Structure 1
């Protein structure tokens, strides 16, 4: 029986699952410790929570381990003219630069795969580029096709394929007639959609001043939603990961909704699984079948999958084949070995892949926690010290995380014979932490382990092992009283200081008071108008940064590097970074530091300012924590009383140090960035141009909101395609200088 279905915006990138109040931890300690004093003793509990060390003075050289031998001299002022705002259906880049479309949705990855027709009739997507190019990393190749840290003309690009451009269920641009808009879904359509998710590896090379990708390279690779992967780390073998496909909970299938990326110190690619919850379905009776006391019910709700909620694509409706049935994660059989009640628990991790070796199975590193992962930022490793990685959970009111490995860094592992073996060593055992931001500009990392009494005795969810913490990480962070943030997305490590920068894209749930009231690290509430549409909360987002004496410390200092805003917004309450028409922005998302220049590149994924400009890429000269000032903001509470919030603002962002470099085509997101080691070629992704097109207009290209990149001379047809572009300076110089 066919049934109506919601639009994708109802089930994708709109998660709002954190209902924890998480009051200020200083007000919670006394009551929680008294309640648990019979368990572990109050003194021991306080020591566990607050950590055994304190930062008595912040060292400006916190990133001294971040060597700069391969970097250019520091850039103090950006060397290009700012690009103006644009609503054109084209990529606009700064004067003196040129762009080239390199690799787009549907491009063949084998010599025998037919050219992409781009009319919805194409097949064999397991052998083509996937859709929604997102995070991306550079893996150099020498003249013999071997790994190279110095090559600037030949490489592999490892790329995430996050999602699909869809409306009313189907990924309509890849189906001839736009696809089905009711259930059940046709199996052939679902097969295509399963294949365009995941990862790709593609060989590229510069020849005669032009870049090209090699469709016939034996190093090209696709990983899809159906690829066998390994489960590793503390959750491997857990009863919560048992499925019909893997009764011993050691394997899973595929990776999904891959967003941000990272590159490990041992030379592998890591990819974050983000909005995976919306792909699953369980019927309205599933809570009843499981039993209200089953902790899986609380976990499913906390991870955005309430009983009866529709799935994004309806893949579970496509037939009785196991590849479709797995997307129904209801408790439908006698036990977990006979159904897919735990299938959703096998998603939400950091995925590690050896880009150089397609023979090696992809790993899901459960030790890095399960949440809506974006990028992974590694501190520069120090011999004899643990490896440290930073991550964000991209949903409203979620947390920032840090992972500290149990193993200490061995310099020999920078070029190991077995790269994924090094990943086993450093990523499968360690400790997760969640961040708490204090009102005085300091902060602490809260341990998420059974050694933390707040986690071990959490009244709202029973943790029995560190495997539980790896699978139900959000609930552990709730228990530890981490600070609820405004959608933590991409992070980056400033190579000159070692400080962590993280984008907080926006938060429509942020209020003056109440469950998600203002705090020092998330201090803005305002009304923004887009035409006649009113939005409230932290509409435009901000970028926060953290400094530690050393990456393994539990204490840190923080400030807000950049408050995103429209240039003409109130400078006393909204435009706190003093932005102008040359550098105003909304919804910072991607963030990458250039290893060659140290510049910070900021990318936007915006819906609030798109009546004035398409999404963009900006360059920033970063400073350091504490280079600005304190600022107190005043608000009226719902009861009429005054609420004052003091925050810490980085230095004013003049166009000399923050400037718009590029604006993309209509309806796109600018995302993913990597460079050649010399900083002379930059690769970025243009994601989902034309996503505002209506499925009913699939047969009328004149009604597509974008025809990019076909209108830039790339490829067949007129349907818009996500694609990777390469940017170079016309004079051959370093980008941004």
Structure 2
């Protein structure tokens, strides 16, 4: 008997399928009866995406009818700068996963680097603890997809490495988890035709070799083609560095000839000064760094390289010489110490202790000079009877060669165009050059003033605001300066191809200021402008003629306006987030309890020294009013005081330094780049030392800090005691104690200075310069074998200044 079926209206709730095909519930039941429960929270996600994929599988019971089984690591926590790696898992009954992917769902933006079922990223800088959620998905060969999620807790930056102990070893010591390798050494050849360096004193042609005393340094990114600028490249670039001075003894077979200097010896010494531009590259994201000996961009700028004089002093009587009667051109740059840079892609190299290179016996030359000239020459220290290395004593093989004659600054001719009396006025400037274009001559930017320029570090560039550069004058009791351009910043200029023309725009016209620090933590920038603040032709300190005179003799103008005398103002660095300027005050042998002030508050006895002075130095910082480079006023405090951790905590070690971070004589200073977490939110501050007071305990060192902000501490009263026992007190605004926010990161080899620092834009490679290891020795008494000693090479190798590359073995951001 046939069942009757009611074919009346139905909303679908009638079963008319009489086949034996499986039901959905049956399929789900089968799924869980033959396959384990999905892990990592993936079950619900897998069920939610059955969709059309399930229906497609219904036609063939021999093929898997379920989506992939996916799982991923459980939630984790990390801090800024660390590498985070997450691995997903995807299986399918049919055995074929066609694709998988990671995507970010929420939280601070991550840059994911995914390969297969693994993704990694550098933990970004965050102000507070934050959570990032990642989704892992997998698709099988039949188009069925499953997803799951995991989270990562992101914490603010810490100095997670273990502090390097103080030591006097003859190697570069870095924390566990880091590697230091030598990249570019004194004498390394810069052309394919230049032979390898023998390092026995017989090498020549330093115009085509690495110079000596590696110092201030900057990395300029290079495109993969090797011919164009790429500011974001972290695998290929131009490493540009200063060569401040020489260790004379090691450049010659048995040391230098005394008295009248041989031409070959003097030429070698001259050419070993200046600047290097050298192409460097990394074979892969984790490979070794090398330098390209045959690069067409490799370049040496020496004291003999033609230069152009730009700005207000160009063409004036102050810079006319026999070489350039018009006062428009010069030769070379010397004693290049710290540096600066521009956002349009040029290097600023700075001439520091240049005065001593010139021969000018005062007893015979002063009578030939005007009283005004004598005042200026004396203030700048141009008073050597022989010059530092006696180069002016050379009798050249070609009588027309004046590269040695120019070091004799005596007034011997009828006027300045007949001799080199004005040659010292051609030095002491900030010099700009384009590292990407070897055909363009460096330009001396006279608007930034003449002094012992330690460096010229830029403030934060803001569109529509006039940019500034901060400069220390490195000598005891000298001043801090700021140059503010006349031209407001235009962001499009950062991409200009004629980079030196952009330098003309921003660096040839502006106002030079000098700093006055008040006891209450306030300060002012005083303009050094002819006709203002006593800078006039009737000044009793020095009678100025015009603005060119003011800039050529900026020290004398600063004297007139009553600038604050500082404890050897050296490197400046600017916090790229807050705009605060930091200044190293290395030390001051003439600081006494009677002449301390709030900005330079300590004078003490630090054995084994028997003199009272500021032997260990300190670091000062300031914040501009309104956080603008155009400000005429600021607030300041002392960020940290150098000292041994065993010294008097009340009056000497007042920053509370410990064995993990005590230091002396801060010199180099640098903040992390904004292109990676080390320069974001709370940028890392790197501190390098050039010390003679602490070397009985440790070689020179480099530390890293997570600084706070100006005004985060309190006023501290320091009691200074004279050698006779009398006391004075000095109140000083002081930053908060650093504690574990300051750690020793590196200790150098014997008798070296640590100076010069930069990273690649991604922050995963750090370049550091090691200057004059074994400087107290000579060929008969070699006191350091570095850098050969870095790899255990045989004793007896002469020491060489060199650049070191530091990387983390896990690929993370350096220092974090």
TM-score relative to the length of structure 1: 0.86
Q: What is aligned with 1:371?
A: 451
Aligned partner of 1:730 in structure 2 is: 809
Note the residue ranges of structure 1 that are not aligned, 5 or more in a row. 1-67, 166-170
Task: Tell me the CA shift for residue 309 of structure 1.
Answer: 3.5
1:505 to 586, 591, 603: 586
Does the 8 Å CA contact 1:527/1:534 hold for their aligned counterparts? yes
Distance 1:153 1:297, change over 3 A: same
Q: 1:120 & 1:639 partners in 2: Cα distance? A: 50
| Residues 170 and 790 in structure 2, CA contact (< 8 A), matched pair in contact too | no
Q: How does 1:288-307 map to 2 (within 5 A)?
A: 288-291=366-369, 293-306=370-383
Which of 646, 660, 677 matches 2:761? 677
Bigger Rg over Cα: 2
1:657 paired residue among 719, 734, 741: 741
Q: After superposition, where does 1:418-457 map in structure 2 within 5 Å?
A: 418-456=498-536, 457=538
CA distance in 1, matches of 2:723, 2:656: 29
Q: CA offsets per residue over residues 220-242 of structure 1, 9 Å max, x none?
A: 00000100000001111110111
Residue pair 1:615, 1:670 contacting (<8 A) in 2 also: yes
2:380 aligned with 1:380: no
Aligned residues: 650
C-alpha deviation, 1:322, in angstroms: 1.4
Alignment of 1:150-299 (within 5 A): 150-165=232-247, 171-180=248-257, 182-208=258-284, 209-291=287-369, 293-299=370-376
CA distance in 1, matches of 2:539, 2:165: 52
**Cα separation, partners in 2 of 1:662 and 1:639, compared to 1, 3 Å:** closer
Equivalent residue number for residue 21 of structure 1: none
Post-superposition offset of 1:636: 5.5
1:113 equivalent in alignment to 2:194:
yes
Report SS of the residue matched to 1:144.
coil
User: What is the deviation of 1:408?
Assistant: 1.3
Which residue does the alignment assign to 1:149? 231
Aligned position for 1:13? none
Partner of 2:610: 534
1:162-213 CA distance string (max 9 Å, x none) = 0001xxxxx1211112121x21111110010111000010000011510000
CA distance in structure 2 between the aligned counterparts of 1:327 and 1:642, rounded to whole angstroms: 47
Q: Counterpart in 1 of 2:150?
A: none
Among 532, 538, 542, the alignment partner of 1:461 is 542
Whether the 8 Å CA contact 1:76–1:657 is kept in 2: the answer is: no
Task: Name the SS of the counterpart of 1:558 in structure 2.
Answer: strand
Q: Specify whether residues 194 and 636 from structure 1 end up closer, same or farther in structure 2 by C-alpha distance, changes over 3 A only.
A: closer
Please show how residues 68-83 of structure 1 align to structure 2 within 5 Å.
72-73=125-126, 75-83=156-164
> CA separation in 1, counterparts of 2:471 and 2:720?
31
Q: So what's the TM-score if we normalise by structure 2?
A: 0.78
Distance of 2:312 and 2:725 partners within structure 1 = 49
1:644–1:271 Cα change, 3 Å:
same
Whether contact under 8 Å (1:87, 1:614) holds in the other structure is yes
What's the offset of the Cα at 1:73?
Answer: 3.2
Give me the whole-angstrom Cα distance separating, in 2, the residues matched to 1:715 and 1:296. Answer: 53
Q: Which residue of 1 aligns with 2:213?
A: 132
Q: Which residue of 2 aligns with 1:567?
A: 645
The equivalent residue for 1:481 is 562
Pick 1 or 2: higher relative contact order, CA cutoff 8 A, min separation 6: 1
Using the TM superposition, name which of 382-391 and 332-341 deviates more: 382-391
Deviations 1:421-447 (A, max 9, x none): 111110110000000000000000011
- In the aligned structure 1, how far is the partner of 2:446 from the partner of 2:220? 24
Structure 1 119/273 Cα, relative in aligned 2: closer, same or farther at 3 Å? same
RMSD: 1.8
Among 790, 800, 806, the alignment partner of 1:721 is: 800
Tell me how far apart the structure 1 counterparts of residues 196 and 712 of structure 2 sit (CA, whole Å): 53
- 1:555 corresponds in structure 2 to 633
CA distance in 1, matches of 2:694, 2:341: 32
Choose 135-144 or 716-725, whichever is displaced more.
716-725
Instruction: Check conservation: 2:604, 2:720, Cα contact below 8 A.
Output: no
Work out which of the residue numbers 340, 355, 364 in structure 1 matches 2:420: 340
CA contact (8 A) 1:265 1:378 kept: no
Secondary structure, aligned partner of 1:521: coil
Distance in 1 of aligned mates of 2:199 and 2:725: 58
Q: Distance in 2 between matches of 1:370 and 1:73?
A: 42
C-alpha deviation, 1:535, in angstroms? 4.0
